[in-house]
Amino acid sequence: MALHVIVGAGPVGVELASSLRDLMDHTLRRIYPTIDFAHEVTIHLLDGADRVLPQMDGRLSRIAMKRLAQQRINVLLKTLVSEIGPDRVRTKDGVELRGRTIVWSGGVKVNPLVTTLDLEKARDGRILVDECFRASGRDDVLVVGDAAFFAVRDQPLPQLAQVAVLEAPAAARNLAALVRGRPVLRPQTVASAIRIGNPASWNTAIAARDESGGTIEAVGDDVGDLASEVQKLATWANGEQITRVNVEELAVGRAETPIFAVTDAWGRRDVAATLRATESLLDRSHRPRSGELIRLVASLVGHVGRVRKVSRLADEGIRSSEIASRLKIHPFVAEKAAKQAGNFSPEELAQATVRLAELDAGAKGGSRLPPELQLERTLVEITRRPERAG
Ligand SMILES: Cc1cc2nc3c(=O)[nH]c(=O)nc-3n(C[C@H](O)[C@H](O)[C@H](O)COP(=O)(O)OP(=O)(O)OC[C@H]3O[C@@H](n4cnc5c(N)ncnc54)[C@H](O)[C@@H]3O)c2cc1C
């Protein structure tokens, strides 16, 4: 009887135990037909925690447990090892397991340098960090990767390469927000985005069953984009409900998203909010400001043009659902455009289109005025209400 003892049921231990059994069942069995691997080889997998993969989501632990059982791996939980000899493992409860192959997969120790640092640590020696990956709340010490203990509801992210790699954009995103005085992503959001494993998801607006309006606002009404966002939602939500806060949080940083804050403010004829939203959009973009400005103007041209079309059709007495289908836009967008159109006269909308076209040409180099000044002037002109005569 051969016995393998693997100490530590984290990712390495679970993977090793499972691979060992695969090796026996699929490869060695054919090479050594006289050995009954199913009965003559036992694999023990030990861990002090009450589940395998304790660093991961409970559902993953359950899936792994099921698979380990199918592979006839003997999982011993809440079992602390106190002693390891050349051919035996003794547990704290005094149980002795004899085996020729003993594998330690109980985790790696933190880097010795980390232990010497005067920073608050978790029990496993990692440095406790907040949602901006700051250690001990200090602005000048950030920790990511294996050395960082980033916890969500006391559950730390595991020490894995993909976590380490995705923590970097998360840390950068939150630090930039912090410096700019903007809200940082909550730890749950950081952890969820890391779990999705796609850095693009940081800048992604998330759809929600009960937040379809907010999603369209965030993503736009392009069906392809929406489908892609809904797909990401499915991964992110994992069966749980998504709120508007989630949509807004996850939409942060996506340059296309705040355009809705600009067009909404314009549609309400709120000059101050239009300028604020524009400033915020330019600030938040990771792309060069000049390019972002040109993109913003192009979006505004498109938006005002759409509102004009909706306005004309609405004036003909056509209902918004029919307008939506004729213009191939989402009914929500048609409804919103109709509402905005109600705040402008047809002449004002025509004038806004002309002013934006001039701005577009100016921003692309046809004006001697600084583009941002020109943008501001145009926004004020096309947004403010006309002064009443008398
Ligand atoms: C055996 C094993 C298997 C693994 N398998 C997987 C796996 O399959 N999938 C997975 O996702 N993760 C796996 N991991 C975990 C993964 O390797 C780590 O989570 C990841 O490398 C952490 O990245 P990091 O940048 O924080 O640290 P590291 O990758 O360890 O990088 C730290 C760097 O800092 C350098 N350094 C350390 N001290 C100093 C110093 N004093 N001065 C200057 N430089 C220093 C080191 O040389 C090193 O290059 C495995 C780990 C091990 C040990």
Tens-digit pLDDT profile for residues 359-381: 888 877 766 677 888 899 999 99
For ligand 1, the distance from its centroid to the CA atom of residue 67, given in whole angstroms, is 28
In this predicted structure, the answer to whether residue 228 has a pLDDT above a threshold of 70 is: no
Q: Is 162 in the pocket of ligand 1 (CB under 6 A)?
A: yes
State how far the Cα of 162 lies from the Cα of 384, in Å rounded to an integer: 50
In this predicted structure, the answer to whether residue 6 has a pLDDT above a threshold of 60 is: yes
Q: Is the dihedral of CA 55, 58, 60, 61 positive or negative?
A: positive
pLDDT confidence of residue 360: 85
State how far the Cα of 252 lies from the Cα of 281, in Å rounded to an integer: 10
Atom of ligand 1 nearest to the CA of 144: 26
pLDDT confidence of residue 366: 64
Between 124 and 252, the higher pLDDT residue:
124
Q: Is 160 in the pocket of ligand 1 (CB under 6 A)?
A: yes
pLDDT tens-digit readout, 27-51: 998 899 898 888 889 999 999 999 9
Ligand 1 mutation pick, 159, 163, 166, max ligand atoms within 8 A of CB = 159
CB proximity list for 20: less than 8 A, separation 6 or greater: 4, 43
Q: Please, is 198 exposed, middle or buried when counting C-beta atoms within 10 Å of its C-beta (0-12, 13-18, 19+)?
A: middle
Atom of ligand 1 nearest to the CA of 108: 53
For ligand 1, the distance from its centroid to the CA atom of residue 152, given in whole angstroms, is 22
Atom of ligand 1 nearest to the CA of 147: 26
State how far the Cα of 134 lies from the Cα of 131, in Å rounded to an integer: 7
pLDDT confidence of residue 231: 53
pLDDT confidence of residue 19: 94
pLDDT confidence of residue 389: 58
Percent of the chain with pLDDT over 70: 79
CB proximity list for 7: less than 8 A, separation 6 or greater: 13, 46, 47, 81, 84, 89, 102, 103, 104, 105, 106
pLDDT confidence band for 175 (50 / 70 / 90):
confident
In this predicted structure, the answer to whether residue 187 has a pLDDT above a threshold of 80 is: no
Q: Is 115 in the pocket of ligand 1 (CB under 6 A)?
A: no
Q: Is 199 in the pocket of ligand 1 (CB under 6 A)?
A: no
pLDDT confidence of residue 214: 54
For ligand 1, the distance from its centroid to the CA atom of residue 170, given in whole angstroms, is 18
Percent of the chain with pLDDT over 90: 42
pLDDT confidence of residue 252: 36
Between 186 and 257, the higher pLDDT residue:
186
Q: Is the dihedral of CA 211, 214, 218, 224 positive or negative?
A: positive
Ligand 1 mutation pick, 12, 116, 129, max ligand atoms within 8 A of CB = 12
Q: Considering only CA atoms, which residue is closest to atom 36 of ligand 1?
A: 111
Q: Is 165 in the pocket of ligand 1 (CB under 6 A)?
A: no
pLDDT confidence of residue 144: 94
For ligand 1, the distance from its centroid to the CA atom of residue 322, given in whole angstroms, is 58
Q: Considering only CA atoms, which residue is closest to atom 17 of ligand 1?
A: 161
pLDDT confidence of residue 334: 87
In this predicted structure, the answer to whether residue 222 has a pLDDT above a threshold of 70 is: no
pLDDT confidence of residue 219: 54
Ligand 1 mutation pick, 160, 163, 194, 195, max ligand atoms within 8 A of CB = 160
In this predicted structure, the answer to whether residue 121 has a pLDDT above a threshold of 80 is: yes
State how far the Cα of 203 lies from the Cα of 251, in Å rounded to an integer: 6
Q: 71-80, 165-174, 360-369: which range is least confident on average?
A: 360-369
Q: Is 343 in the pocket of ligand 1 (CB under 6 A)?
A: no
Between 71 and 386, the higher pLDDT residue:
71
pLDDT confidence of residue 256: 45
Are the C-beta atoms of residues 207 and 230 closer than 8 Å to each other?
Answer: yes
In this predicted structure, the answer to whether residue 14 has a pLDDT above a threshold of 90 is: yes
pTM: 0.52
